[in-house]
Amino acid sequence: MTIEAVINVDLDGPKINRHVYGHFAEHLGRCVYGGFYVGEDSSVPNEGGIRLDVVEALRELDIPNLRWPGGCFADEYHWRDGIGPRPGRPTMVNTHWGGVEENNHFGTHEFMALCELLGAEPYISGNVGSGTVREMSEWVDYLTRDGDSPMARLRKANGREQPWKVRFWGLGNEAWGCGGNMTAVQYAAEALRYGTYCRGNDLYKIAAGANAFDFAWTETLMKQVGHLGCRRVTSTAYHALSVHYYTITGPSWDEKGSATAFDTGEYYRTMVSAARVEELLAGHAAVMDCYDPNRNVGLVLDEWGTWFDVEPGTNPGFLHQQNTLRDALVASVHFDVFHRYADRLVMANIAQTVNVLQAMILTDPDSHAMVLTPTYHVFRMNRGHQDATSLRVDLRGPLPSRPVGDATLTTVSMSASRRDGRLLVSLSNLDADSPADVEIDLRGGTVHELGALILTAAAPGDHNTPRSPSTVAPRPYDGVSVAGGRLRAHLPPHSFVTVSGTL
Protein backbone atom coordinates (compact mmCIF):
# COMPACT_ATOMS: atom_id res chain seq x y z
CA MET A 1 0.00 0.00 0.00
CA THR A 2 1.26 3.44 -0.94
CA ILE A 3 0.49 6.18 1.58
CA GLU A 4 -0.80 9.27 -0.22
CA ALA A 5 -0.70 12.79 1.21
CA VAL A 6 -0.91 16.42 0.12
CA ILE A 7 1.28 19.34 1.24
CA ASN A 8 0.43 22.86 0.10
CA VAL A 9 3.87 24.42 0.32
CA ASP A 10 2.45 27.94 -0.11
CA LEU A 11 -0.09 27.73 2.75
CA ASP A 12 1.54 28.85 5.96
CA GLY A 13 0.92 27.09 9.24
CA PRO A 14 2.14 28.29 12.65
CA LYS A 15 5.83 28.96 13.11
CA ILE A 16 7.75 26.10 14.75
CA ASN A 17 9.52 27.70 17.69
CA ARG A 18 13.17 26.72 17.62
CA HIS A 19 12.99 26.24 21.38
CA VAL A 20 11.07 22.96 20.98
CA TYR A 21 14.52 21.57 20.13
CA GLY A 22 15.79 22.58 23.58
CA HIS A 23 17.95 20.61 26.00
CA PHE A 24 18.24 19.87 29.70
CA ALA A 25 21.31 19.52 31.96
CA GLU A 26 20.72 18.55 35.56
CA HIS A 27 23.21 17.91 38.34
CA LEU A 28 22.51 14.21 38.01
CA GLY A 29 25.02 11.42 37.49
CA ARG A 30 27.62 12.39 34.89
CA CYS A 31 25.60 14.98 33.02
CA VAL A 32 27.34 18.06 34.42
CA TYR A 33 30.42 16.70 36.21
CA GLY A 34 32.19 14.33 33.81
CA GLY A 35 29.91 15.30 30.94
CA PHE A 36 29.83 19.02 30.29
CA TYR A 37 32.38 19.90 32.95
CA VAL A 38 35.73 18.14 33.43
CA GLY A 39 37.64 20.85 35.32
CA GLU A 40 40.47 23.04 34.14
CA ASP A 41 43.11 20.48 35.16
CA SER A 42 41.65 17.72 32.98
CA SER A 43 43.65 16.22 30.11
CA VAL A 44 40.48 16.50 28.02
CA PRO A 45 40.59 19.74 25.98
CA ASN A 46 38.49 22.30 27.81
CA GLU A 47 37.84 25.99 28.25
CA GLY A 48 37.39 26.99 31.86
CA GLY A 49 36.73 23.33 32.65
CA ILE A 50 34.02 22.95 29.98
CA ARG A 51 34.64 20.03 27.64
CA LEU A 52 35.14 21.42 24.13
CA ASP A 53 34.35 18.37 22.00
CA VAL A 54 30.93 18.17 23.67
CA VAL A 55 30.39 21.87 22.94
CA GLU A 56 31.44 21.45 19.30
CA ALA A 57 29.08 18.51 18.80
CA LEU A 58 26.12 20.34 20.31
CA ARG A 59 26.77 23.45 18.24
CA GLU A 60 26.13 21.26 15.20
CA LEU A 61 22.54 20.90 16.46
CA ASP A 62 21.98 24.67 16.63
CA ILE A 63 21.02 24.05 20.26
CA PRO A 64 18.54 26.84 21.09
CA ASN A 65 18.37 26.67 24.88
CA LEU A 66 19.69 24.72 27.87
CA ARG A 67 17.69 24.15 31.05
CA TRP A 68 19.64 24.04 34.36
CA PRO A 69 20.26 23.14 37.24
CA GLY A 70 17.28 20.75 37.39
CA GLY A 71 15.00 18.92 37.60
CA CYS A 72 14.56 17.79 41.17
CA PHE A 73 18.03 19.13 41.96
CA ALA A 74 16.83 22.69 41.35
CA ASP A 75 14.68 22.65 44.45
CA GLU A 76 17.61 21.92 46.75
CA TYR A 77 20.13 24.15 44.94
CA HIS A 78 21.10 27.47 46.50
CA TRP A 79 22.76 29.59 43.88
CA ARG A 80 25.01 31.60 46.22
CA ASP A 81 26.89 28.37 47.01
CA GLY A 82 28.03 28.26 43.38
CA ILE A 83 29.59 31.71 42.94
CA GLY A 84 32.92 33.22 43.94
CA PRO A 85 36.35 31.55 43.94
CA ARG A 86 35.91 27.80 43.52
CA PRO A 87 38.12 26.73 46.46
CA GLY A 88 35.87 28.67 48.83
CA ARG A 89 32.57 27.22 47.62
CA PRO A 90 30.83 24.90 50.09
CA THR A 91 30.18 21.27 49.24
CA MET A 92 26.66 19.86 49.20
CA VAL A 93 25.03 16.45 49.11
CA ASN A 94 22.87 15.69 46.07
CA THR A 95 20.12 13.90 47.98
CA HIS A 96 17.96 13.28 44.93
CA TRP A 97 20.52 11.58 42.72
CA GLY A 98 22.86 9.06 44.30
CA GLY A 99 23.64 10.93 47.53
CA VAL A 100 26.96 12.11 46.09
CA GLU A 101 28.88 15.13 47.36
CA GLU A 102 29.27 18.04 44.96
CA ASN A 103 31.91 20.76 45.28
CA ASN A 104 29.82 23.45 43.54
CA HIS A 105 32.63 24.16 41.08
CA PHE A 106 30.02 24.32 38.32
CA GLY A 107 27.77 27.21 39.24
CA THR A 108 26.13 30.27 37.75
CA HIS A 109 29.18 31.73 35.99
CA GLU A 110 30.22 28.35 34.60
CA PHE A 111 26.72 27.67 33.31
CA MET A 112 26.54 31.04 31.61
CA ALA A 113 29.98 30.43 30.05
CA LEU A 114 28.69 27.09 28.75
CA CYS A 115 25.65 28.76 27.18
CA GLU A 116 27.88 31.34 25.52
CA LEU A 117 30.12 28.61 24.09
CA LEU A 118 27.04 26.73 22.81
CA GLY A 119 25.34 29.83 21.43
CA ALA A 120 22.28 28.75 23.46
CA GLU A 121 19.87 30.74 25.59
CA PRO A 122 19.92 29.85 29.29
CA TYR A 123 16.77 28.51 30.94
CA ILE A 124 17.17 28.61 34.72
CA SER A 125 14.92 26.70 37.10
CA GLY A 126 14.59 28.49 40.42
CA ASN A 127 14.31 26.90 43.86
CA VAL A 128 10.71 27.07 45.05
CA GLY A 129 10.73 23.83 47.04
CA SER A 130 13.38 24.71 49.67
CA GLY A 131 14.26 28.28 48.71
CA THR A 132 12.69 31.68 49.25
CA VAL A 133 11.16 34.35 47.07
CA ARG A 134 14.03 36.65 48.01
CA GLU A 135 16.65 34.06 46.98
CA MET A 136 15.17 33.65 43.51
CA SER A 137 14.54 37.37 43.09
CA GLU A 138 18.16 38.12 43.93
CA TRP A 139 19.34 35.46 41.46
CA VAL A 140 17.40 37.26 38.73
CA ASP A 141 19.03 40.54 39.77
CA TYR A 142 22.51 38.99 39.98
CA LEU A 143 22.28 37.74 36.42
CA THR A 144 20.34 40.48 34.66
CA ARG A 145 20.52 43.81 36.49
CA ASP A 146 22.89 46.59 35.47
CA GLY A 147 23.87 49.61 37.53
CA ASP A 148 24.93 49.71 41.17
CA SER A 149 22.42 47.44 42.90
CA PRO A 150 23.69 45.05 45.62
CA MET A 151 23.43 42.01 43.34
CA ALA A 152 25.07 43.83 40.42
CA ARG A 153 27.97 44.77 42.71
CA LEU A 154 28.29 41.15 43.85
CA ARG A 155 28.39 39.93 40.25
CA LYS A 156 31.06 42.46 39.36
CA ALA A 157 33.10 41.46 42.39
CA ASN A 158 33.00 37.91 41.03
CA GLY A 159 34.46 38.98 37.70
CA ARG A 160 31.47 39.76 35.46
CA GLU A 161 31.04 43.45 34.74
CA GLN A 162 28.09 43.35 32.33
CA PRO A 163 24.83 41.57 33.08
CA TRP A 164 23.78 38.56 31.06
CA LYS A 165 20.53 38.22 29.18
CA VAL A 166 18.44 35.46 30.74
CA ARG A 167 14.88 35.36 29.47
CA PHE A 168 13.66 31.95 30.58
CA TRP A 169 12.96 31.33 34.27
CA GLY A 170 11.27 28.28 35.73
CA LEU A 171 9.23 28.92 38.88
CA GLY A 172 10.25 25.65 40.51
CA ASN A 173 10.06 22.12 39.19
CA GLU A 174 7.57 19.28 39.67
CA ALA A 175 5.86 21.01 42.57
CA TRP A 176 3.46 18.05 42.71
CA GLY A 177 6.40 15.79 43.64
CA CYS A 178 10.08 16.38 44.40
CA GLY A 179 9.56 20.16 44.20
CA GLY A 180 7.47 20.32 47.37
CA ASN A 181 4.67 17.72 47.24
CA MET A 182 2.13 20.52 46.87
CA THR A 183 -1.43 20.44 45.68
CA ALA A 184 -2.28 22.41 42.55
CA VAL A 185 -3.96 25.11 44.66
CA GLN A 186 -0.94 25.40 46.97
CA TYR A 187 1.49 25.69 44.11
CA ALA A 188 -0.69 28.15 42.18
CA ALA A 189 -0.39 30.59 45.10
CA GLU A 190 3.39 30.08 45.20
CA ALA A 191 3.68 30.63 41.45
CA LEU A 192 1.90 33.97 41.74
CA ARG A 193 4.13 35.02 44.65
CA TYR A 194 7.42 33.99 43.04
CA GLY A 195 6.37 35.32 39.65
CA THR A 196 5.46 38.68 41.16
CA TYR A 197 8.90 39.23 42.70
CA CYS A 198 10.99 37.86 39.83
CA ARG A 199 11.23 41.20 38.08
CA GLY A 200 13.18 42.35 35.09
CA ASN A 201 12.94 43.32 31.48
CA ASP A 202 11.87 40.68 28.98
CA LEU A 203 11.60 37.79 31.45
CA TYR A 204 9.59 34.76 30.34
CA LYS A 205 8.43 32.98 33.48
CA ILE A 206 7.35 29.34 33.31
CA ALA A 207 5.14 27.88 36.03
CA ALA A 208 5.80 24.29 37.13
CA GLY A 209 3.02 22.40 35.45
CA ALA A 210 1.43 19.01 35.41
CA ASN A 211 2.67 15.49 35.71
CA ALA A 212 1.71 13.92 32.38
CA PHE A 213 -2.09 13.75 32.02
CA ASP A 214 -3.06 15.78 35.10
CA PHE A 215 -5.26 18.23 33.22
CA ALA A 216 -6.78 19.52 36.49
CA TRP A 217 -3.36 20.93 37.47
CA THR A 218 -3.23 22.88 34.22
CA GLU A 219 -6.75 24.20 34.74
CA THR A 220 -5.91 25.41 38.25
CA LEU A 221 -2.95 27.41 36.93
CA MET A 222 -4.92 28.75 33.96
CA LYS A 223 -7.69 30.05 36.23
CA GLN A 224 -5.15 32.45 37.75
CA VAL A 225 -4.19 34.09 34.47
CA GLY A 226 -7.48 34.03 32.59
CA HIS A 227 -11.23 33.55 32.87
CA LEU A 228 -13.36 30.90 31.22
CA GLY A 229 -14.25 32.10 27.74
CA CYS A 230 -12.33 35.37 28.14
CA ARG A 231 -9.83 36.39 25.49
CA ARG A 232 -7.71 38.58 27.77
CA VAL A 233 -4.93 37.22 29.98
CA THR A 234 -5.27 39.02 33.31
CA SER A 235 -1.92 38.24 34.97
CA THR A 236 1.71 38.22 33.90
CA ALA A 237 3.06 36.45 37.00
CA TYR A 238 3.92 33.66 34.59
CA HIS A 239 3.83 33.41 30.82
CA ALA A 240 3.80 29.66 30.28
CA LEU A 241 3.01 26.35 31.95
CA SER A 242 5.23 23.31 31.84
CA VAL A 243 4.35 19.62 31.65
CA HIS A 244 6.53 16.52 31.98
CA TYR A 245 6.07 13.27 30.08
CA TYR A 246 8.40 10.29 29.80
CA THR A 247 8.18 7.33 27.47
CA ILE A 248 8.00 4.27 29.72
CA THR A 249 7.82 0.68 28.45
CA GLY A 250 7.99 -1.54 31.53
CA PRO A 251 5.11 -2.40 33.87
CA SER A 252 6.28 -0.06 36.65
CA TRP A 253 8.90 2.52 37.65
CA ASP A 254 10.85 -0.30 39.25
CA GLU A 255 10.79 -2.39 36.06
CA LYS A 256 11.17 -0.04 33.13
CA GLY A 257 12.95 -2.52 30.86
CA SER A 258 16.38 -2.60 29.28
CA ALA A 259 17.60 0.18 27.01
CA THR A 260 19.20 -2.32 24.62
CA ALA A 261 17.90 -5.87 25.26
CA PHE A 262 14.28 -5.79 24.15
CA ASP A 263 12.03 -7.84 21.91
CA THR A 264 9.63 -6.68 19.20
CA GLY A 265 6.74 -6.51 21.64
CA GLU A 266 8.67 -4.16 23.93
CA TYR A 267 9.69 -2.09 20.92
CA TYR A 268 6.08 -1.58 19.89
CA ARG A 269 4.98 -0.78 23.44
CA THR A 270 7.65 1.90 23.53
CA MET A 271 6.30 3.42 20.34
CA VAL A 272 2.73 3.40 21.70
CA SER A 273 3.92 5.22 24.81
CA ALA A 274 5.83 7.76 22.70
CA ALA A 275 2.85 8.41 20.42
CA ARG A 276 0.70 9.29 23.43
CA VAL A 277 2.52 12.63 23.59
CA GLU A 278 -0.03 13.80 21.01
CA GLU A 279 -2.91 12.96 23.37
CA LEU A 280 -1.01 14.73 26.14
CA LEU A 281 -0.46 17.97 24.24
CA ALA A 282 -3.98 17.94 22.83
CA GLY A 283 -5.50 17.62 26.29
CA HIS A 284 -3.47 20.37 27.92
CA ALA A 285 -3.95 22.65 24.91
CA ALA A 286 -7.72 22.12 25.06
CA VAL A 287 -7.82 23.14 28.73
CA MET A 288 -5.68 26.19 28.03
CA ASP A 289 -7.86 27.18 25.07
CA CYS A 290 -10.87 27.50 27.41
CA TYR A 291 -9.13 30.23 29.41
CA ASP A 292 -6.79 31.63 26.76
CA PRO A 293 -8.33 31.19 23.30
CA ASN A 294 -5.85 33.68 21.82
CA ARG A 295 -3.01 31.40 22.95
CA ASN A 296 -0.98 34.02 24.73
CA VAL A 297 0.14 31.54 27.40
CA GLY A 298 2.71 29.05 26.19
CA LEU A 299 2.92 25.32 26.83
CA VAL A 300 6.39 24.00 27.67
CA LEU A 301 7.27 20.29 27.65
CA ASP A 302 10.51 20.80 29.53
CA GLU A 303 11.15 17.14 30.34
CA TRP A 304 10.55 14.38 27.81
CA GLY A 305 12.26 11.28 26.51
CA THR A 306 12.73 7.59 27.20
CA TRP A 307 13.35 6.24 30.67
CA PHE A 308 14.67 2.69 30.98
CA ASP A 309 16.49 0.74 33.67
CA VAL A 310 20.05 1.94 34.24
CA GLU A 311 22.94 0.15 32.60
CA PRO A 312 24.10 -2.87 34.64
CA GLY A 313 26.88 -2.02 37.07
CA THR A 314 26.17 1.71 37.16
CA ASN A 315 24.91 3.80 40.08
CA PRO A 316 21.08 3.51 40.11
CA GLY A 317 20.88 7.19 41.02
CA PHE A 318 22.84 8.26 37.94
CA LEU A 319 20.15 7.23 35.39
CA HIS A 320 22.75 6.22 32.80
CA GLN A 321 21.24 4.31 29.88
CA GLN A 322 22.34 3.39 26.38
CA ASN A 323 20.63 4.93 23.37
CA THR A 324 19.46 2.87 20.39
CA LEU A 325 17.69 3.34 17.11
CA ARG A 326 14.48 2.82 19.10
CA ASP A 327 15.25 6.02 21.03
CA ALA A 328 15.86 7.87 17.77
CA LEU A 329 12.40 6.90 16.49
CA VAL A 330 10.85 8.00 19.78
CA ALA A 331 12.44 11.41 19.17
CA SER A 332 11.30 11.62 15.54
CA VAL A 333 7.70 10.87 16.52
CA HIS A 334 7.80 13.53 19.24
CA PHE A 335 9.05 16.16 16.81
CA ASP A 336 6.26 15.46 14.33
CA VAL A 337 3.77 16.05 17.15
CA PHE A 338 5.60 19.18 18.29
CA HIS A 339 5.33 20.60 14.78
CA ARG A 340 1.58 19.94 14.70
CA TYR A 341 1.10 21.85 17.99
CA ALA A 342 3.29 24.79 17.04
CA ASP A 343 0.47 27.22 17.82
CA ARG A 344 0.64 26.37 21.55
CA LEU A 345 3.91 24.54 22.25
CA VAL A 346 6.67 27.13 22.67
CA MET A 347 9.47 25.02 24.15
CA ALA A 348 10.50 21.43 24.81
CA ASN A 349 13.60 20.05 26.54
CA ILE A 350 14.77 16.48 26.11
CA ALA A 351 16.04 14.74 29.22
CA GLN A 352 18.98 14.90 29.23
CA THR A 353 21.80 16.17 27.05
CA VAL A 354 24.83 14.17 28.22
CA ASN A 355 25.13 10.74 29.91
CA VAL A 356 21.64 10.71 31.46
CA LEU A 357 18.40 9.15 30.15
CA GLN A 358 17.82 9.84 26.41
CA ALA A 359 21.12 11.61 25.90
CA MET A 360 22.59 13.22 22.79
CA ILE A 361 26.11 12.35 23.88
CA LEU A 362 27.70 9.61 25.97
CA THR A 363 31.21 10.03 27.39
CA ASP A 364 33.32 7.15 28.65
CA PRO A 365 34.65 7.83 32.17
CA ASP A 366 37.81 5.78 31.59
CA SER A 367 38.89 6.47 28.01
CA HIS A 368 37.14 9.91 27.85
CA ALA A 369 35.81 8.90 24.41
CA MET A 370 32.74 10.77 23.23
CA VAL A 371 29.92 8.97 21.39
CA LEU A 372 27.11 10.60 19.43
CA THR A 373 23.87 8.70 19.99
CA PRO A 374 21.14 7.88 17.42
CA THR A 375 18.96 10.52 19.11
CA TYR A 376 21.64 13.13 18.44
CA HIS A 377 21.37 12.39 14.73
CA VAL A 378 17.59 12.96 14.70
CA PHE A 379 18.13 16.41 16.21
CA ARG A 380 20.74 17.18 13.58
CA MET A 381 18.70 15.89 10.66
CA ASN A 382 15.70 17.93 11.85
CA ARG A 383 17.46 21.19 12.63
CA GLY A 384 16.02 22.84 9.50
CA HIS A 385 12.60 22.82 11.21
CA GLN A 386 13.79 25.33 13.82
CA ASP A 387 11.89 28.63 13.43
CA ALA A 388 10.44 27.30 10.17
CA THR A 389 6.87 27.72 8.94
CA SER A 390 4.98 24.50 9.57
CA LEU A 391 3.16 22.97 6.63
CA ARG A 392 0.05 20.87 7.08
CA VAL A 393 0.17 17.29 5.86
CA ASP A 394 -3.26 16.16 4.58
CA LEU A 395 -3.74 12.41 4.17
CA ARG A 396 -5.77 10.91 1.37
CA GLY A 397 -6.42 7.75 3.30
CA PRO A 398 -5.65 6.04 6.58
CA LEU A 399 -2.10 5.52 7.70
CA PRO A 400 -0.94 1.94 8.27
CA SER A 401 -1.37 0.70 11.83
CA ARG A 402 -1.04 -2.40 13.93
CA PRO A 403 -2.60 -3.58 17.21
CA VAL A 404 -0.34 -3.43 20.27
CA GLY A 405 -2.13 -4.89 23.27
CA ASP A 406 -5.25 -2.80 23.79
CA ALA A 407 -3.82 0.07 21.74
CA THR A 408 -3.40 0.76 18.04
CA LEU A 409 -0.07 2.09 16.78
CA THR A 410 0.09 4.19 13.63
CA THR A 411 3.34 3.05 12.07
CA VAL A 412 4.12 5.97 9.73
CA SER A 413 4.62 9.52 10.98
CA MET A 414 5.47 12.66 9.03
CA SER A 415 5.70 16.44 9.22
CA ALA A 416 6.92 19.25 6.98
CA SER A 417 8.08 22.86 7.10
CA ARG A 418 9.48 25.66 4.96
CA ARG A 419 12.31 28.04 5.82
CA ASP A 420 14.44 30.39 3.73
CA GLY A 421 13.20 28.92 0.47
CA ARG A 422 13.85 25.32 1.54
CA LEU A 423 11.36 22.51 2.11
CA LEU A 424 12.05 19.89 4.79
CA VAL A 425 9.94 16.75 5.14
CA SER A 426 10.51 14.28 7.99
CA LEU A 427 9.29 10.70 7.61
CA SER A 428 9.37 7.84 10.13
CA ASN A 429 8.51 4.19 9.58
CA LEU A 430 7.97 2.58 12.97
CA ASP A 431 7.17 -0.87 11.62
CA ALA A 432 9.89 -3.21 12.81
CA ASP A 433 9.68 -5.54 9.80
CA SER A 434 7.81 -4.00 6.86
CA PRO A 435 8.76 -1.13 4.56
CA ALA A 436 6.40 1.68 3.61
CA ASP A 437 6.00 3.77 0.47
CA VAL A 438 4.88 7.39 0.62
CA GLU A 439 3.70 9.63 -2.22
CA ILE A 440 3.15 13.31 -1.45
CA ASP A 441 1.43 15.71 -3.85
CA LEU A 442 3.37 18.97 -3.46
CA ARG A 443 1.09 21.86 -4.40
CA GLY A 444 1.77 25.57 -4.62
CA GLY A 445 5.43 25.34 -5.56
CA THR A 446 8.09 23.41 -7.42
CA VAL A 447 10.80 21.50 -5.59
CA HIS A 448 14.24 20.93 -7.06
CA GLU A 449 17.77 20.15 -5.84
CA LEU A 450 16.36 17.27 -3.83
CA GLY A 451 18.46 15.59 -1.15
CA ALA A 452 17.73 12.95 1.47
CA LEU A 453 19.27 11.35 4.54
CA ILE A 454 18.33 8.09 6.23
CA LEU A 455 18.90 6.88 9.78
CA THR A 456 18.43 3.16 10.26
CA ALA A 457 20.31 0.00 11.25
CA ALA A 458 20.04 -3.76 11.10
CA ALA A 459 17.85 -3.85 14.22
CA PRO A 460 16.02 -1.32 16.44
CA GLY A 461 18.33 -2.22 19.33
CA ASP A 462 21.50 -1.22 17.51
CA HIS A 463 23.52 1.53 19.17
CA ASN A 464 26.84 3.34 19.10
CA THR A 465 29.84 2.67 21.37
CA PRO A 466 33.40 4.00 21.59
CA ARG A 467 34.54 0.96 19.58
CA SER A 468 31.69 1.25 17.05
CA PRO A 469 30.71 4.93 17.05
CA SER A 470 28.87 4.88 13.69
CA THR A 471 26.70 1.76 13.88
CA VAL A 472 23.66 4.06 13.77
CA ALA A 473 24.50 7.18 11.77
CA PRO A 474 22.82 9.11 8.95
CA ARG A 475 23.86 8.54 5.38
CA PRO A 476 22.76 9.91 2.00
CA TYR A 477 19.70 8.12 0.68
CA ASP A 478 18.61 7.58 -2.90
CA GLY A 479 15.21 6.04 -2.11
CA VAL A 480 13.40 9.32 -2.79
CA SER A 481 12.48 11.14 -5.99
CA VAL A 482 10.33 13.99 -7.21
CA ALA A 483 8.58 14.19 -10.56
CA GLY A 484 5.46 15.93 -11.77
CA GLY A 485 5.06 17.66 -8.46
CA ARG A 486 4.99 14.37 -6.54
CA LEU A 487 7.50 13.38 -3.91
CA ARG A 488 8.00 9.63 -3.59
CA ALA A 489 9.86 7.98 -0.73
CA HIS A 490 10.54 4.37 0.15
CA LEU A 491 10.92 3.89 3.90
CA PRO A 492 12.71 0.73 5.05
CA PRO A 493 11.59 -0.87 8.32
CA HIS A 494 12.48 1.03 11.52
CA SER A 495 13.86 4.05 9.68
CA PHE A 496 13.87 7.83 9.82
CA VAL A 497 14.23 9.81 6.59
CA THR A 498 14.52 13.53 5.94
CA VAL A 499 13.97 14.99 2.49
CA SER A 500 14.95 18.55 1.65
CA GLY A 501 14.76 20.63 -1.48
CA THR A 502 14.76 24.15 -2.84
CA LEU A 503 11.41 25.80 -3.57
Catalytic residues: 174, 303
Helix H or strand E encompassing 4: strand 2-8
CA dihedral 377, 381, 387, 389 (to 10 degrees): -140
Residue 396's nearest CA partner among 486, 276, 502 is 486
DSSP annotation of 20 reads G
Amino acid symbol at 283: G
Q: Give bridge partners of residue 437 from the DSSP assignment.
A: 2, 490
Distance, in Å, from the CA atom of 481 to the CA atom of 335, rounded to the nearest integer, reads: 24
Distance CA 489, CA 416 (A): 14
**Quick one: how far is CA 16 from the chain centroid?**
14
Cβ atoms of residues 439 and 487 within 8 Å: yes
User: Rounded to whole angstroms, how far apart are CA atoms 344 and 221?
Assistant: 16
Question: Do residues 361 and 278 make contact, with C-beta atoms less than 8 angstroms apart?
Answer: no
Question: 371 and 321 in contact (C-beta within 8 Å)?
Answer: no
Q: What is the largest CA-CA distance in the chain?
A: 69
158 backbone dihedrals φ, ψ, rounded to 5°: -95, 15
Give the SS3 label for residue 260: coil
